[in-house]
Amino acid sequence: MNQVEPLGLTEPLDQKSNLPGRQRLARIWKVIFQVSTVIGILALGALLYNVSDRSFGYIALEARVQPDTLAINGTPLEEMTVEQLISVLQAKVSAGRFRKLNNDKAFEERTADEVYDLILEDVVRPKVVKTWSLTDSLLRRQQVLTEAAEDYPKANVLFRSWLNPRFVQAPQSSIPIDAGVRTAILGSLWTILITILFAFPTGVGAAIYLEEYAVDNRLNRLIQTNINNLAGVPSIIYGILGLAIFVRTLEHLTSGAIFGLVDPTTANGRTIFSAGLTLGLLVLPLLIINGQEAIRAVPSSLRQAAYGLGATKWQTIWHHVLPNAMPGILTGTILAISRAIGETAPLVVVGASTYITFDPDGPFSKFTTLPIQIYQWTSRPQDDFRNIAAAAILVLLTMLLSLNATAILLRNRFSRRL
Amino acid sequence: MTSISIAHPQTLEAVETTTNGKYAIEVKDLNVYYGDFRAVKNVNLKIERQKITAMIGPSGCGKSTVLRAFNRMNDLVPSARVQGEILFHGHNIYDPGVDSVQVRKWIGMVFQKPNPFPKSIYENVAWGARINGYRGSMDDLVEQALRGAALWDEVNDKLQQSGLSLSGGQQQRLCIARTIAVKPDIILMDEPASALDPIATLRIEELMRELAQQYTIIVVTHNMQQAARVSDYTAFFTMNEDRAGYLMEFGNTSQIFTNPKEKVTEDYITGRFG
């Protein structure tokens, strides 16, 4: 009668238990998780190392005409007046070239610095004959310098950061050392602007409809399933879709012809507008799904409270559901936009220009983007194109990080209000 | 003495006159379905004005469903369907053409778990009035509502702080303040103190007694002592074998708790089941 079984302790403690085995398994799993994290960090480190290794380092620069031979009466180029510089230029380039330069911008209006740059570009024409990686430049500096002196006695050996202010500001050029990414940066920014303007309101609107208004029936479940599937469709397929719809079918709209813009170079619809809309289509399913999840995460007690006070559905959504879902919506938007910025394949299909030297001046101009530019540079045979590709990758990463930082700041502002 | 009558029954537009009716709500043959399942069966009930009516009963007996039928909160559940009439000062709130939004303005609700908006204390109170088109001094209204909910002295120096920074009991009183700021006629309370400690519960109960001088209050509670302490009338709900809830007994609280007519009521009240 007093024989009550002790709670839990159905076997004596000294009996052989499986606890050490369970603890060992727990430790093994912990190690596995640590290894996964380390692999991730190593991959990231390797990426950064690889890109920086090419972005900086020694180069051997050979000039076609040595600058010191251009000196007039012992006055070096750097100290010449505008008139002297113009005369040097006129003496060294062909008459036709000189006339063309004059047509681009009259020489009377040019400053000494501008003319100096022209002389460097057209007369001195420095050429990179050899580049070294950052690792070599730092760790084997003496060897690099000896090698350079032996192999390229005429060359000027200097440490170059391929990523420099000029690189960011200069337009595309066929000479790597002169090339810059301004055109590509502007192209990327314009494209992403169109993408955001199109995809964000559409995505959030669809998410609100599906979560708050749509009733649970067969049709809406079908729509939901298809949106989920669309999120996994390869990006090249969106490119083909964009080509068919935006470039071909809606050519009048995307070329700007409908607004009276009949620039013959862009009239075929291969414009920033088409590219932005295509990327918008690409990220739309991501935005909808993410928006739905964010809206679903808003506690229903909040909706009930609002309805209980005599709020309409729209007042409830606008004043309570959306503000509370906004941090989540913005987080998803950051991820989706980051993906769009890095996309290359669909833009190749839609018709990004590979070589373009003028800045895009609106949604209806031809364009290139940073990933396209990088892709195009890496496929060139010359070594130094790979250096500028690496530098362009750093620019792309910086751009991505700063856009993300902006979005995170925005998100935190929304969260703090709560 | 606030009293209302309704000028345009279809839209429940109200004007300030005196009504002579004794009852704020009359329930006639109320049935509530969730899909095919009948959750509430043939409820007939008359709720007296400016009194506290408690609804008690075991879990799943449909008392919360009935409460939510009073301000058409069940409309938000897609599968819910209501049969019968609920007369609010003589006008059926389920008449086609009556806007449920308007119903909820007149019949406010306080929920089981305190659910202030993630906004400032001031905004919590002001929001409902503002969306209902209140034109007047918002500062005065907020103060009046917070005083009405016995919260003013505790929060008057921190109106701009988040409503979520308050304690549970304060949050619940904030929810009551926000409800009375809309100037409803009836306040529904769905287990308003079940998430609170005994002291906070006591304060809510005191507040309910004060509010009953002005408002009609219907409260669902699991706490029978609470029902006995605060309410004037008690409705005891239970359910039958097919799990449809129905009204077993209704009467004066003192009568229900001291001299119930039904054996089931007595068993429940004395703790023999439920």
pLDDT score of B239: 87
For B131, which of A215, A308, A311 is closest by C-beta distance?
A: A311
Q: What is the mean pLDDT of residues A381-391?
A: 87
| Interface residue ranges in chain A relative to chain B, Cβ cutoff 8 Å | 215-216, 299, 301-312, 315, 319-320, 324, 417-418
* DSSP assignment letter at B220: E
- CA dihedral B164→B168→B174→B178, nearest 10 degrees, is 80
* pLDDT, averaged across chain B: 87
How is B123-188 classified by DSSP, letter by letter? HHHHHHHHHTT--S-HHHHHHHHHHHTT-HHHHTT-TTSBGGGS-HHHHHHHHHHHHHHT--SEEE
Do A308 and B78 make contact, defined as CB atoms within 8 angstroms? no
CB A275 within 8 A of CB A191: yes
Tokens standing for residue B243: 């799990």
Place of tokens 């001094």: B137
Mutant choice from A215, A298, A303, A309 vs B, greatest count of B C-beta within 10 A = A309
- Domain ranges in chain A? 64-162, 182-416
- Predicted confidence (pLDDT) at residue A1 exceeds the cutoff of 60: no
The predicted complex's ipTM stands at 0.89
pLDDT band at A311 (very low <50, low <70, confident <90, very high): very high
pLDDT at A4: 54
Question: Is the separation of the CB atoms in B220 and B60 below 8 Å?
Answer: no
pLDDT at B15: 37
Q: In the predicted model, what is the mean pLDDT of residues B134-152?
A: 91
The residues pairing with B33 across neighbouring beta strands, listed in sequence order, are B38, B81
Q: Does B120 touch chain A (CB under 8 A)?
A: no
Of the residues B104, B113, B124, the best mutation for testing chain A's interface (the one with the most A CB atoms within 10 Å of its CB) is B104
B115 and A304 within 8 Å at the Cβ level: the answer is: yes
Nearest to B105 among A303, A310, A320 (CB): A310
Q: B63 near B224, Cβ under 8 Å?
A: no
How many Å lie between the alpha carbon of A295 and the closest alpha carbon of chain B? 15
Contact criterion met (CB < 8 Å) for B101 and A301? no
Residue A395 pLDDT > 60: yes
A310 Cα to chain B: minimum distance (Å): 4
DSSP class of residue B120 equals B
Give the pLDDT band of residue A103 (cuts 50, 70, 90): confident
- The alpha-carbon gap from A302 to the nearest alpha carbon of chain B, in Å, equals 6
Q: Which residue has the higher pLDDT, B12 or A368?
A: A368
Question: Which region holds residue A367: left if phi is over 0, alpha if psi is between -120 and 50, else beta?
Answer: beta
- Residues facing residue B31 across a β-bridge: B83
Of residues B3 and A371, which shows the higher confidence score?
Answer: A371
Contact between chains at B113 and A319 (C-beta distance less than 8 A): no
pLDDT higher than threshold 90 for residue A49: yes
Is B179 in CB contact (< 8 Å) with chain A?
yes
Write out pLDDT tens, residues A182-232.
889 999 999 999 999 999 999 999 999 999 998 888 999 999 999 999 988
Q: How many CA atoms lie within 13 A of A107 on its CB side?
A: 21
d(Cα B166, Cα B144) in Å, to the nearest integer?
19
Cβ pair A308:B71 closer than 8 A: yes
- Inter-chain touch A309–B117, beta carbons under 8 Å: no
Q: What is d(CA A352, CA A272) in angstroms, rounded to the nearest whole number?
A: 8
Which member of B78, B117, B131 has the closest CB to residue A302? B117
**Residue B148 pLDDT > 60, yes or no?**
yes
Supply the pLDDT for residue A14: 62
- Given this model, what pLDDT does residue B189 score? 94
Mean pLDDT of A115-119: 78
For the cut 50, the answer to whether the pLDDT of residue B9 exceeds it is no
B21-269 maps to which CATH number? 3.40.50.300
Mind listing the pLDDT tens digit for each residue in A131-173?
888 888 888 888 888 888 888 887 888 888 888 888 888 888 7
Predicted confidence (pLDDT) at residue A355 exceeds the cutoff of 80: no
- pLDDT of residue A9 exceeding 90, the answer is no
Q: To 10 degrees, the CA torsion angle through B164, B167, B170, B171?
A: 30
pLDDT averaged over every residue in chain A: 85
Parallel/antiparallel/unpaired status of strands B23-34 and B80-88: antiparallel
Give the pLDDT mean for B80-105. Answer: 89
B119 contact residues in A (CB cutoff 8 A): 417-418
Higher pLDDT: A15 or A384? It is: A384
H/E stretch holding A234: none
Mean pLDDT check: name the lowest of A195-199, A405-409, B23-27.
Answer: A405-409
**Whether pLDDT at B38 is above 50:** yes
Please, is B195 exposed, middle or buried when counting C-beta atoms within 10 Å of its C-beta (0-12, 13-18, 19+)? middle
pLDDT at site A123: 78
B130 and chain A: CB distance < 8 Å anywhere?
no
- Looking at A27-36, A50-59, A69-78, A315-324, which range is the least confident one? A69-78
Tell if the CB–CB gap between A418 and B175 is shorter than 8 Å: no
> What is the least distance, in Å, from the CA of A284 to any CA of chain B?
28
Residue B271 is predicted with a pLDDT of 80
CATH number for the domain formed by residue range(s) A182-416: 1.10.3720.10
Q: Which of A75-84, A102-111, A345-354 has the highest mean pLDDT?
A: A345-354
Backbone angles phi, psi at A159, to 5 degrees: -85, 125
Dist. CA B260–CA A367, nearest whole Å? 84
Q: Which residues pair with B47 in a beta bridge?
A: B25
pLDDT value at residue B272? 74
The residue of chain B with its CA nearest to that of A315 is B131
The band of A15, judged by pLDDT with boundaries at 50, 70 and 90, is: low
- Residue-level pLDDT at A206: 95
Higher pLDDT, A69 or B83: B83
At residue B8, the pLDDT reads: 47
Cβ-defined contact of A309 to B127 (cutoff 8 Å): yes
The partner residues of B6 in beta bridges, in order of sequence, read B14
Tell whether B134 is within 8 A of chain A (Cβ): no
∠ CA B256-B261-B264 to the nearest 5 degrees? 85
Buried b (16+ CB within 10 A) or exposed e, B82-97: bebebbbbebebbeee
**Residue A310 to residue B111, Cβ atoms within 8 A:** no
Q: What is the pLDDT of residue A5?
A: 54
pLDDT at residue number A110? 79
Structure token pair of residue A135: 């690792």
